[in-house]
Amino acid sequence: MAGSARTNGRRTWRRQLHWFYDIAWFYDIAWFYGIAWLYDIAVVNTPRRHVMSPDVTDGKDRIMEFRDRKALVTGGATGIGFATARLLAREGAEVVIAGRSEEAGAKAAAALGEYGGRARFLQADLRDPESVRRLVEEASDMDVLVNNAGAFPFAPTAEQGLDAFQQLFETNVRGPFFLTAALAQKMAARGGGSIVNVTTIAAQRGIPGTAAYGSTKAAVESLTRTWAVEFGGLGVRVNAVAPGHTRTQNVSSMIGEESFERIGAEVPLGRLAAPEEIAEAILFLASSRASYVTGTVLTVDGGAVALT
């Protein structure tokens, strides 16, 4: 009898223990699903702002990053320049396109207007110091400067002509140098601004036929770092974007479409870049999202430089 009582007691204790664990398991499951339900209501189904910037939101409530700002894009009528001007206009900027061709520039400005942007064209030739001076006068109140215009007549070193060599350095180095020198001071006087130089991966790796061209862009990358130091304390940030092989009409015509496609296929991402992909990098560096970035060269090349 005593043994039977002890056995029944142990069974009762075990049943109570199982009952306790069953209750604890139930509460654990209920707690987990309750928290998950609250998270779904409070977070998942709540519209969220971009964490990168308080200035940008999604959907209909999106605030344009460059609203009430003015931006000058040299060489903004075609290619990377036009793609950049279009993004800036989309984000609310009043865009000034500068270039040599009045016809192409007027067409580009009109196209931006069709997208709902505000844009105007100023004719300017960066090879001409007087033309650069006039551009500074006519675009003196810019918040953003994109030094995109450039010449690129490629040639092997032994075949490089003097005239083309001078054209490269006048357009790619001297023009942006004095344009930046003037506009950076004006930006500083108004409290700050952002400058983005467009260079190339030919400044970072050896590419046959680009000795003179690559050296002009290497000079601009050096200027980027120096200007970042000189103007940083005045509230002006200076950065650069180094595009890789980008599908633009000018380069495709010079190299040949098929040859250019083969070059693009050799990079790790296996293709040429679209101008818009380079423009997105320029837009980022010009924006408040990059407020603590200066003196940097952002390489956008599909991994091409990584191969060297």
Q: Are residues 105 and 217 in the same domain?
A: yes
Which two tokens mark 167?
């054209």
Is 119 a member of any domain? Answer: yes
Residues 81 and 212 in one domain: yes
The count of domains in the chain is: 2
Query: 53 pLDDT exceeds 90?
Result: no
Could you list the residue range(s) of the whole structural domain that residue 9 is in? 1-46
Among 298, 173, 302, 280, CA closest to 242: 298
Residue 49 has what pLDDT? 31
| Most confidently modeled range among 11-15, 114-118, 265-269 | 265-269
Least confident of 44-58, 64-78, 250-264: 44-58
In whole angstroms, what is the distance from residue 287 CA to residue 237 CA? 10
Beta strand pairing status for 193-198 and 70-74?
Answer: unpaired
pLDDT one-digit tens code per residue, 189-238: 999 999 999 999 999 999 999 999 999 999 999 999 999 999 999 999 99
* DSSP reduced 3-state for 178: helix
Residue 275 in this model has a pLDDT that exceeds 70: yes
- Tell me the mean pLDDT in the region 115-127: 94
Q: Flag whether 74 is in a domain.
A: yes
* 56 in any annotated domain: no
Whole-model pTM?
0.79
In a domain, 175, yes or no: yes
191: left (phi over 0), alpha (psi -120 to 50) or beta: left
281 lies in the same domain as 223: yes
pLDDT digits over 22-34, tens only? 544 444 544 444 5
Asked whether the predicted pLDDT for residue 71 surpasses 90, the reply is: yes
One domain for residues 26 and 129: no
Position 15 scores a pLDDT of 54
Residue labelled with tokens 């105007």: 120
Round to whole Å and give the CA distance between 201 and 263: 13
Q: Decide if 292 is catalytic.
A: no
Strands (E), 172-218: 193-198
Instruction: Determine which one of 33, 39, 213, 292 is catalytic.
Output: 213
Give the CATH number, domain containing residue 189: 3.40.50.720
| Statement to judge: residues 250 and 140 lie in one domain | yes
User: Based on the domain organization, do 97 and 209 belong to the same domain?
Assistant: yes
- Same domain for 159 and 187? yes
Identify whether residues 8 and 104 lie together within a single domain.
no
Residue carrying structure tokens 């180094």: 242
Helices (H) and strands (E) in the chain, counts: 10, 7
* Residues near 273 by beta carbon (within 8 Å), at least 6 away in sequence: 243, 244, 245, 246, 247, 264, 300, 301, 302
Q: 308 in helix, strand or coil?
A: coil
Considering the domain architecture, whether residues 7 and 102 belong to the same structural domain is answered as: no
Instruction: Please tell me whether residues 210 and 152 are part of one structural domain.
Output: yes
Q: Which residues contact 78 (CB under 8 A, 6 or more apart)?
A: 104, 108, 248, 249, 250
Whether pLDDT at 59 is above 50:
no
Write down the pLDDT at residue 153: 86
pLDDT exceeding 90 applies to what percent of the chain? 72
For residue 102, tell me if it sits in a domain.
yes
Q: Please answer whether residues 178 and 137 qualify as being in contact, where contact means their C-beta atoms are separated by less than 8 angstroms.
A: no
Q: How far apart are CA 199 and CA 50, in angstroms?
A: 29
Q: Same structural domain for residues 42 and 78?
A: no
What are 209's two structure tokens? 């036929």
Considering the domain architecture, whether residues 211 and 245 belong to the same structural domain is answered as yes
Percent above pLDDT 70 for the chain: 80
Whether residue 86 is contained in a domain is answered as: yes
Supply angle C-alpha 55, 70, 59, rounded to 5. Answer: 30
